Amino acid sequence: MRRPAALVAAAAVAATALAGCDSGGGDTIKIGSIAGLTGNFVTTDVVETAKQVFEDVNEAGGINGRQVEYIVKDDAGNPQRTAQVARELLDDGVVAMAGSASFTDCDVNGGFYQQAQISSVMAIGASPKCFQSPNIAPVNVGPFTLMTAVLQYASEQLGAQRVCNFTVVLPGSEDAVNQALGRWSELTGKELALSDLSVQQSGDMTPYLLRAKQARCDAVLFNPTEQLVIPWLQAASTQGMTDVDFLLLAPSYTDSVAEAASGLGLNVYAGSEFEPYTAESEANQAWRETVQRADSPATAFSQGGYLSATFMVEVLKTIEGEVTRESVNQALREMEPIEHPMLGTPWVFGDGESHAPNQASKIVQLEDGQWKVVTPEFITLPRG
């Protein structure tokens, strides 16, 4: 359907006006972020770590002599608030977004960012739209690529013959889930013995596990957050499923899950978004020192905050002249890929219509109440 010419012209004028509303120049570079500082999805560790990266840069003299002002807005997990704070940040004159970790940001603001011509180097992308926008490039693997990687580990390295999937499908993510499962089949030539996309976010987990037992699953993928995965593992232990490999995603790769699942007698694995945060590796050293200076907990999410701010700094350093929304966009789209030891693939924004630069994960296994790295090398998926 064609839009009336007057509306097209009005939209073009509005987009031009929005694009021109950045601060431009001056001695301060304003970077924005949307995170959950309150509510059910709290990500203070992400923005505290990103903030420390910018403070360290400022103490060292700034970026080409300019100080970074990092402005964080709390959306409290409320979509209306998510939309409101994005517009407040642009009114404040931010030239780009970095370190955002909001569950609703991509769905609510993706179109707005494109209209306003502002780019986001996101710390933690969870929604499919975070990986389908020309204006958003997360630094994390994301749940869908991670699903493929974990399944590949189970079938190709653990030797599982009957791999099963139980997924809580969030609104708008069913296609992405199916694509992730299909990608595993394309890579391995194998089919799932059972796939259940009807798992609810609450209630008794036992019926799903009984289905897994009936299907003789020897590896079971389960995707929810730690609040649901603990009842899942406890029910699996009650069912005596000690010969099954349980595969989890990054939201379950936490200290609290390790503690709660210790002693259940299960084989539990999880995929990491970055170099595993529990590893005392050289790759994690600079991040770990940063979170210590920030007096923030060392979490996998905080790794995203660290990397997104670090990459934004590297890109800002390449800009000659005024740092504006336009010059940041150009620098991100023309940047050279950045290799970092916490990632298995180079990170780049680029000029694509969508961005999913991180295609690598490591696998950790729960042993004696602690997560241990079982894949010293990253599992890297081929790009589609």
pLDDT tens for each residue of 156-181: 999 999 999 999 998 899 999 999 99
What's the confidence (pLDDT) of residue 257? 95
**DSSP classification of residue 222:** E
What's the confidence (pLDDT) of residue 40? 77
What's the confidence (pLDDT) of residue 20? 38
Q: Interior CA angle at 256 toward 245 and 228, to 5°? A: 60
Average pLDDT, the chain: 92
| One-letter amino acid of 312 | M
Residue whose C-alpha is closest to residue 298's, from 259, 342, 339, 254: 254
Predicted TM-score (pTM) of the model is 0.90
pLDDT-based confidence at 4, cuts 50/70/90? Answer: very low
Task: Give me the percent of the chain exceeding a pLDDT of 70.
Answer: 93
Residue 100 three-state SS: coil
pLDDT tens column, 184-223: 999 999 999 999 999 998 889 999 999 999 999 999 999 9
pLDDT tens column, 83-138: 999 999 999 999 999 999 998 999 999 999 999 999 999 999 999 999 999 999 99
pLDDT tens column, 31-81: 999 999 998 778 999 999 999 999 999 999 999 999 999 999 999 999 999
Task: Round to the nearest angstrom and report the end-to-end CA distance of the chain.
Answer: 31
What's the confidence (pLDDT) of residue 225? 78
pLDDT tens column, 130-163: 999 999 999 999 999 999 999 999 999 999 999 9
The CA distance from 115 to 83, in Å, is 13
Q: What are phi and psi of 85, to 5 degrees?
A: -70, -30
Helix 285-293 × helix 300-317 angle, to 10°: 100
The CA distance from 207 to 199, in Å, is 10
Gyration radius of the chain's alpha carbons:
21
What's the confidence (pLDDT) of residue 26? 63
